Amino acid sequence: MENYLFIEVSMACSDAEAMEKFWVDLFGAKVIFRGLMAGQPFTRLTMPGVSLIFRQDPNLKPPPGPGQEWEYRNHLGLRVDDLDRAIADLESRGAQFVLTPAKVRELQQKMGGGGMGKYLQTTYIAPPLSRERIDAGEFKHDVAILVGPDNLWVELNQIKEPADTQWYPK
């Protein structure tokens, strides 16, 4: 069987130049191509583990922005080693966070006292992980979400997982 490796995400945007600046300034992405694709401005950036392509679309209707959106269904997720340090670093570069670990804890309390309550109800956990191992602290997943151009949500993920899973790329 062929080895399929994930390499890119391609998305529409209203301003390819603004999107490029966001990823370069905040995350140190490297621009490897820029020009026109199907007659529309585009930029291709690389970061560890993925390349991002943003093609300008004059008819793009952005999703709801900060204060209007809270589910963040469509987002790009990045893994970080230290979420607090990443938040501080990105805020110093101008990032606007709409969800932080403190806000997640607040939502958890409102929606079910400590756990994710009615918001997240896991019905299956793949072996070798189990509810007991999660409750014992072997697995933990913390998130923060910031907003980019066109209300593009970027989720930062700090993941602690046991050696016998390693499901998420490092």
Residues 12 and 82 in one domain: no
Domains in the chain, number: 2
Answer yes or no: is 158 within a domain.
yes
Can you give the residue range of the structural domain that contains 160?
64-165
Residues 88 and 103 in one domain: yes
Return the pLDDT at 147.
96
Answer yes or no: is 170 within a domain.
no
Residues 102 and 149 in one domain: yes
Please give the Cα distance from 50 to 9 (Å, whole number).
Answer: 7
Residues 89 and 52 in one domain: no
CATH number at residue 138: 3.30.720.110
Closest CA to 40 of 8, 75, 6, 10: 10
Given a contact cutoff of 8 angstroms between Cβ atoms, the answer to whether 117 and 109 are in contact is no
Edge-to-edge strands of the sheet including 75-79?
A: 75-79, 153-160, 140-147, 96-99
* Beta bridge partners of residue 53, listed in sequence order: 10, 44
Query: pLDDT tens track of the chain, all 170 residues?
Result: 788 888 899 999 999 999 999 999 999 999 999 999 999 999 999 998 899 999 999 999 998 888 888 778 889 999 999 999 999 999 999 999 999 998 888 877 777 655 555 566 788 999 999 999 999 999 999 999 999 999 999 999 999 999 999 998 88
